[in-house]
Homo-oligomer: A and B are copies of this chain.
Amino acid sequence: MGDVRWLTETEIDTWLKFRSVVELYPGLLDSQLRRDSQMTHMEYQVLAMLSEAPDRTLRMTTLAARTTSSLTRMSHVVTRLAQRGIVARSACALDGRATNVTLTDEGHDLLVAAAPGHVTQVRESFLDALSPAQLRQLDDICDSILTRIDPEGKMTAR
């Protein structure tokens, strides 16, 4: 239990900026997708990950890991998407505990319709805001941070 190392002025500045970004960014993504495509960013991410998976199907745990979601949260998200006919749940033949989630055709149509707006948002607020050098720097920076906050890579599996 050593003493706390308080932050310097410079550290506070950088920290508060970073804090603003992580606090503001999720809401930005949510509001564009909600407004234009009636879905949250987490829902979009689910559709995107399923659309790239074999048979457009993934297990709950995998889906949660690929979208940085807790299993609990994913369960609620999938319940809502299933009620809307966007995904379908099914039992996994290989493991009786597991649940498979499949993207329906309807869900795929929804993703196709939502993608341009979302990609444009990502370009305008992120990719086009930074130089190629900054993007490379940020890639490394995110690696370092993720190593600290999710050492096992449980939440960030690819």
Interface size on A, residues (CB 8 A): 54
Flag whether A144 is at the interface (Cβ < 8 A).
Answer: yes
Per the bound structure, the CA–CA distance linking A45 and B122 in Å amounts to 28
From residue 1 to 55 of chain A, which have CB atoms closer than 8 A to chain B? 4-7, 11, 13-26, 28, 45
Contacts beyond the supplied A21-B22, A130-B141: 20 A-B pairs with Cβ under 8 Å: A7-B122, A17-B139, A17-B143, A18-B126, A18-B142, A19-B45, A19-B68, A20-B156, A22-B22, A22-B25, A22-B26, A23-B26, A23-B68, A24-B146, A25-B145, A26-B26, A125-B148, A126-B145, A134-B137, A134-B144
A-B pairs with beta carbons under 8 Å apart, 16 shown: A5-B119, A5-B123, A11-B127, A14-B142, A15-B122, A17-B139, A18-B138, A20-B68, A20-B142, A20-B146, A21-B22, A24-B68, A24-B155, A125-B148, A129-B147, A134-B141
